[in-house]
Amino acid sequence: DNRLGCYFCNDVVAPENSTRDRTLDQQCTVTRPGLAPVASAMAVELLVALLHHPLGADAPATQPLVGGKAATFSPGGPSSGDNGSASSPLGDVPHQIRGSLVSYTLMTPSVPAFGHCTGCSDEVAGLYRDRGFDFVQRCCDVDGPTYLEDVAGLTAFREEANAKLAEMEECDGWDDDEEESDDF
């Protein structure tokens, strides 16, 4: 699957309440009163740049410069070229913009879709198409995050990863109990 990832593709947990038991500076962007107008203005600028891009919704995401050239990741797969392929007449079209008010920085990551994403995986999208609001309501219930992780395959993914880590620890070839020798 060569499609670009959504906001949640970087997370290996289901989304939860980002306002509970957190101070205002640790809460999600949408709850930061001073940042909401900045975020909405950036969203408008991104949309307009995307609408003016020759490829429209298929515009590749701008990547950081590597060796003087920008690598781009598009729905057709990664490629390498100049910045022009990822630019619209209004400038670059980044895949995402993430910011930190703690350090007053912005970054523009571009990530491929994660197969077990709780936001856009085939399983989650399929259940949403089939069940609509009933699926959303189930995800918002008390066991919602666990249910969503199970549906997306995250639970099995983490179990498999933990099993492989345990296997690696068992066969790492090192025996800490052996006495070290000074002989070479």
Given the residues 6, 9, 28, 139, select the one marked as catalytic: 28
Is position 139 annotated as part of the catalytic site? no
Angle at 32 between CA 27 and CA 38, to 5 degrees: 135
- Positions annotated as catalytic residues are 28
